[in-house]
Amino acid sequence: MRPQAPCGACRAVPSRPAWSTRCNPSNASPKPSPIGQLVARPNDMDLASREFDELAKLIHSLTGLVISVDKSYLIKHRLEPVAKRFGCDSFEAFLSVIRKSGGTRIHDAIIEAVTTKETSFFRDSWLFEALGQHVLPELAKRLDGTGTRRNRIRIWSAGCATGQEAYSLAMLVRELVDNQPQTRRLNEFSILASDISSDAIETARSGLYSATEIQRGISEGRLRRNLERAGTRWQFAGPLRELIQCRKLDLLRPPHDLGAFDLVLCRNVLIYFDQPSRQRVCSTVEKHLLPGSFFVLGSAESLYGCEHSFETIKHGRAVIYRKPAASR
Ligand SMILES: C[S@@+](CC[C@H](N)C(=O)[O-])C[C@H]1O[C@@H](n2cnc3c(N)ncnc32)[C@H](O)[C@@H]1O
């Protein structure tokens, strides 16, 4: 076991989680430190720069996520417990196990550890207002109700994390249907919720959320209309859960049976990717969108630098991309 290493800048032993803040008071003179030394804790494993390079490359190939050297503490903090679970007490040993055995189990554990699954219901409320007031009603007009032409509107929440985005969409769909009970039915809509993380997809599939998660974005009225108590947690009612199909899916290796969509949300995912991966996802979404259909990114994201044919539409603060109606 290594002794506890102090912060390279101020010599204090940091007590906060590695990613919460950097310890670098103004009276300390920062100096270059070996990767990981800034966040050292008891039992810490050192991360040499060649080990960082190899792990960062592996993470990029598994997920598309780019981890730059200034975020090496993320690898260190998140992969150290994984390495220990696989019986390794150093990153060198961990890498050797990965090289020798590789395989889905170790790769899945790495994916679970390095993905950031931050999300909440109705995240960026202005976007959901625009979707509820403009986009979904426009899509609903595409349904002819006879089952001969289009009889279903397909929505994709790509990189849905634990599913809050998909359930927010489902609640909006339900509100639209409730407002037009003569003409619309819930089963005329379907939502695909996908993520690369198996754990996140399991949570999405269960539709079960803690009170704290519910408080992040769900109003009292929506809570009463759409959720039921399940012990100390809350669960979305059956009809809303049935609206959503959950699927583990890597956006950089999309399956061939995705089909065509009327609306795709891929929010706060591309922000972690490099330009070639962003372009790949953008092209995948474009290919799977029907002409005249919609694409939404996170509020800090744009299609800048990507080749695409999308038009931009604005509803208040919400920026929505649209595939031209005449395109293929
Ligand atoms: C920050 S969350 C965004 C959740 C939700 N879209 C939102 O905006 O609230 C990013 C999600 O992207 C997923 N992700 C990362 N790389 C991915 C990939 N290559 N394919 C599919 N999902 C990926 C992560 O697992 C994570 O759940």
Determine the average pLDDT of the residues in 275-299: 97
User: What pLDDT was estimated at residue 328?
Assistant: 52
Q: List strand residue ranges (DSSP E) for the chain, in order.
A: 153-158, 189-195, 208-209, 227-230, 233-236, 244-248, 261-266, 289-297, 311-315, 318-322
User: What pLDDT was estimated at residue 299?
Assistant: 96
- On the question of pLDDT at 47 being above 70, the answer is yes
Which CATH number applies to 125-322: 3.40.50.1370, 1.10.490.10, 3.20.20.140, 3.40.50.150? 3.40.50.150
- The model's pLDDT over 238-271, given as tens digits with 9 standing for 90+, comes to 999 999 999 999 999 999 999 999 999 999 999 9
Which ligand 1 atom is the nearest neighbour of the CA of 119?
9
User: What pLDDT was estimated at residue 28?
Assistant: 35
117 Cα to the center of ligand 1, angstroms: 6
Q: Two tokens at 22?
A: 């950097």
Confidence of residue 11 (pLDDT cuts 50, 70, 90): very low
- The model's pLDDT over 111-146, given as tens digits with 9 standing for 90+, comes to 999 999 999 999 999 999 999 999 999 999 988 655
Confidence of residue 42 (pLDDT cuts 50, 70, 90): low
- Identify which has the larger pLDDT, 183 or 179: 179
Confidence of residue 21 (pLDDT cuts 50, 70, 90): very low
- The mean-pLDDT minimum among 29-33, 34-38, 224-228, 292-296 falls in 29-33
Q: Which residues line the pocket of ligand 1, CB cutoff 6 A? A: 63-65, 115-119, 123, 159-161, 165, 195-197, 200, 250-252, 267-269, 298
User: What pLDDT was estimated at residue 190?
Assistant: 96
67 Cα to the center of ligand 1, angstroms: 15
Asked if residues 205 and 254 have their Cβ atoms less than 8 Å apart, the reply is no
Q: For a substitution probing ligand 1, which of 269, 279, 282 has the most ligand atoms within 8 Å of its CB? A: 269
For the domain made up of 1-114, give the CATH fold: Chemotaxis Receptor Methyltransferase Cher; domain 1 (1.10.155)
16 Cα to the center of ligand 1, angstroms: 25
- The model's pLDDT over 141-180, given as tens digits with 9 standing for 90+, comes to 988 655 444 689 999 999 999 999 999 999 999 999 999 8
Distance CA 191, CA 212 (A): 24
- The mean-pLDDT minimum among 23-37, 129-143, 313-327 falls in 23-37
Asked if residues 75 and 59 have their Cβ atoms less than 8 Å apart, the reply is yes
Which residue ranges make up each domain of the chain?
1-114, 125-322
- Interior CA angle at 98 toward 94 and 103, to 5°? 140
32 Cα to the center of ligand 1, angstroms: 33
* Spatial CB neighbours of 322, under 8 Å, sequence gap ≥ 6: 292, 293, 294, 295, 310, 311, 312, 313
- On the question of pLDDT at 20 being above 80, the answer is no
- The mean-pLDDT minimum among 50-64, 99-113, 311-325 falls in 99-113
Percentage above 90 pLDDT, the chain: 79
Confidence of residue 183 (pLDDT cuts 50, 70, 90): confident
User: What pLDDT was estimated at residue 24?
Assistant: 34
Asked if residues 252 and 285 have their Cβ atoms less than 8 Å apart, the reply is no
- Identify which has the larger pLDDT, 5 or 273: 273
- Share the mean pLDDT of the chain: 87
- For tokens 């919460």, what's the residue? 20
